[in-house]
Amino acid sequence: MPSVHRATDVRLGRIVRLLMSHATVVVSGTKLAEDIGTSRSEVWRLIQQLRALGVDVAGHPATGYQLRVVPDLLLPEMLAPSLKGTVFGGARAGSMSAFPLGGRFPQGLKPAFLQTEGGTAEAVPYPKPRHEAVPYPKPRHEDGTAEAVAYPKPSHEAGAKIHHYYKIASTNSEAMRCAEEGAPEGSVFLAEEQLAGRGRGAHNWHSARSAGIYCSVILRPAMPPSDALIFSLAAGLAIRVAVMEIAPQLRVDLKWPNDLLLGGKKFCGVLTEMNAEATRVRHLVVGIGINVNQAKFPAELREIATSLKIETGTEWSRVELCAALLKSLDREYRSFVEEAGARDAILRRFEGSSSSVRGRKVSIEENGGLTGVSEGLDERGFLRVRTAEGLRAVVSGTVRVIGNL
Ligand code: BTN
Sign of the CA dihedral running 316, 300, 167, 290:
positive
Closest residue by Cα to residue 274 from 282, 284, 262: 284
Instruction: Please give the order of strands across the beta sheet that includes 253-255.
Output: 162-165, 188-191, 212-219, 281-291, 265-276, 259-262, 253-255
Determine the pLDDT at residue 157: 67
* Type of residue numbered 266: K
Determine the pLDDT at residue 111: 36
Using a 10 angstrom Cβ sphere, with 0-12 exposed, 13-18 middle and 19 or more buried, the burial of residue 382 is middle
What number of other Cβ atoms are within 10 A of residue 134's Cβ? Answer: 17
Q: Using an 8 Å Cβ cutoff, are 310 and 294 in contact?
A: yes
Determine the pLDDT at residue 128: 26
**CA–centroid distance, residue 176 to ligand 1 (Å):** 13
Closest residue by Cα to residue 283 from 217, 201, 218: 218
What distance in Å separates the CA atoms of residue 245 and residue 317, rounded to the nearest whole number? 13
Q: Which ligand 1 atom minimizes the distance to the CA of 205?
A: 7
199 lines ligand 1 (CB under 6 A): yes
3-state helix, strand, coil in the chain (%, to 5): 30, 25, 50
List C-alpha distances in Å: 405 to 277, 358, 360, 373: 42, 10, 6, 8
304 lines ligand 1 (CB under 6 A): no
Using a 10 angstrom Cβ sphere, with 0-12 exposed, 13-18 middle and 19 or more buried, the burial of residue 179 is buried
Determine the pLDDT at residue 215: 98
Closest residue by Cα to residue 94 from 82, 106, 105: 82
**CA–centroid distance, residue 392 to ligand 1 (Å):** 28
Q: Give the H or E element holding residue 14.
A: helix 10-21
What distance in Å separates the CA atoms of residue 356 and residue 384, rounded to the nearest whole number? 11
Q: Using an 8 Å Cβ cutoff, are 213 and 74 in contact?
A: yes
E strand spans, 14-63: 57-60
Take atom 7 of ligand 1 and give the residue whose Cα is closest.
Answer: 289
Burial 1-15 (b: 16+ CB within 10 A, else e): eeebbbbbbbbbbbb
Q: Label residue 189 left, alpha or beta by phi (over 0 means left) and psi (-120 to 50 means alpha).
A: beta
Determine the pLDDT at residue 105: 35
Determine the pLDDT at residue 91: 54
Q: What is the pTM of this model?
A: 0.83
Q: Using an 8 Å Cβ cutoff, are 6 and 137 in contact?
A: yes
**CA–centroid distance, residue 198 to ligand 1 (Å):** 5
270 lines ligand 1 (CB under 6 A): yes
**CA–centroid distance, residue 25 to ligand 1 (Å):** 40
| CA 106 centroid distance within chain | 23
Closest residue by Cα to residue 172 from 124, 223, 217: 217
What number of other Cβ atoms are within 10 A of residue 371's Cβ? Answer: 14
**CA–centroid distance, residue 199 to ligand 1 (Å):** 5
126 lines ligand 1 (CB under 6 A): no
What distance in Å separates the CA atoms of residue 173 and residue 357, rounded to the nearest whole number? 30
pLDDT tens for the chain, 405 residues: list them: 333 568 888 899 899 989 988 888 999 999 999 999 999 999 999 999 899 878 899 999 999 999 998 789 999 988 999 999 999 997 533 322 222 222 333 333 333 332 222 222 232 222 222 222 222 223 333 343 334 333 344 445 667 899 999 899 999 999 999 999 999 999 999 999 999 999 998 899 999 999 999 999 999 999 999 999 999 999 999 999 999 999 999 999 999 999 999 999 999 999 999 999 999 999 999 999 999 999 999 999 999 999 999 999 999 999 999 999 999 999 999 999 999 999 999 999 999 999 999 999 999 987 778 999 999 999 999 999 999 999 999 999 899 999 887
Write the DSSP assignment of 96-156 as a string of letters: PPPP---SBPPTT---GGGG-TT--------PPPS-TTS-SS---STT--------SPPTT
* Type of residue numbered 67: L
Closest residue by Cα to residue 99 from 321, 333, 330, 331: 321
**CA–centroid distance, residue 200 to ligand 1 (Å):** 7
272 lines ligand 1 (CB under 6 A): no
Take atom 11 of ligand 1 and give the residue whose Cα is closest.
Answer: 287
287 lines ligand 1 (CB under 6 A): yes
DSSP state of 386: E
| CA 298 centroid distance within chain | 21
336 lines ligand 1 (CB under 6 A): no
* Type of residue numbered 188: V
Determine the pLDDT at residue 24: 85
Take atom 16 of ligand 1 and give the residue whose Cα is closest.
Answer: 287
Q: Mutate which of 176, 205, 285 to test ligand 1's pocket (most atoms within 8 Å of Cβ)?
A: 205
**CA–centroid distance, residue 128 to ligand 1 (Å):** 30
